[in-house]
Amino acid sequence: MFKRLLAVIILSSCLTESCGKSVSLSLNLKVAVVADFNATKPVDYTYINNNNNDFKPRDCSDLNKGLHKSGVYKISPDSGASFNVYCDMDTDHGGWTVFQRRQDGKVDFYRDWKDYEDGFGNPKKEFWLGNNKLHKLTTTGNFTLRVDLSDFSGNKAYAKYKSFSIASASNKFKLTISGYSGNSGDGMGEVNDRPFVTKDQDLHNCAARLKGAWWVRNCATSCLNSEYQGSLWHGISWYIWKKKAATIKTAVMMIRRRK
């Protein structure tokens, strides 16, 4: 059973007059139906156009053209199998596909390659979307990354990167990132062109040192997948903003397709 059913009807009309006597009206109708289930069940939608062909949004920016409520939706980046994502429709004009969230330490992020490849957690709470899905998303267009951070004193900061993409598993989910702006400091620029490492796939033991998984160079200047409220070396970190690890309370990472 779902909690809410939202029907959004979008009408586009065209009126034409001939000799001032007759008026013809043509309507193109699109109906978007969104089912918002509880947190343990998937959220589905259907887009139906006037030809009865299903339209599958590639990401949250497609959904943002008609829907403006943050929540969990299904997307299909390559028109293949769909999967659930959390769409942030509030931050910076909305349309963000969230792929990581830390907020309370209830989910263990010190996991192996397979877990990070497939994803884990609840998209409404703490989670990692999955590197395979991230790769699939970022190969369908050009994406901007946004990172939102807060500490235990209520201070907030953000970083935006104009260009963000993830390579395939065979290429170790290598990160391509550039174009920093924001007020948190550039915490990810130095790991451009670096592979993703986990505790079971790491030649330099950085994942073990960080108690997490991340793209690393010299064991990283940031790691938002480290142990929640860990030690000096093991905590969630964005060192250019907070010089000590384990002082970050929340972190959200999300991407949006560039026009």
Handedness of CA 83, 89, 95, 101 (dihedral sign): negative
List the pLDDT tens digit at each of the 259 positions of the chain.
333 333 333 333 333 333 333 333 332 323 333 333 333 343 444 443 323 356 789 999 999 888 889 999 999 998 778 999 999 999 999 999 999 999 999 999 999 999 999 999 999 999 999 999 999 999 999 999 999 999 999 999 999 999 999 999 999 999 999 999 999 999 999 999 999 999 999 888 889 888 999 999 888 678 999 999 866 667 898 988 987 766 899 999 999 999 8
Question: Residues 6 or more apart from 41 whose CB is under 8 A from it?
Answer: 2
Instruction: Tell me the two tokens of residue 207.
Output: 């994942």
* CATH level 2 (architecture), domain 60-257: Alpha-Beta Complex (3.90)
Domain boundaries, the chain: 60-257
3-state helix, strand, coil in the chain (%, to 5): 10, 45, 45
- Length of the chain in terms of residues written: 259
Instruction: Give pTM, 2 decimals.
Output: 0.79
**SS3 of 148, please?**
strand
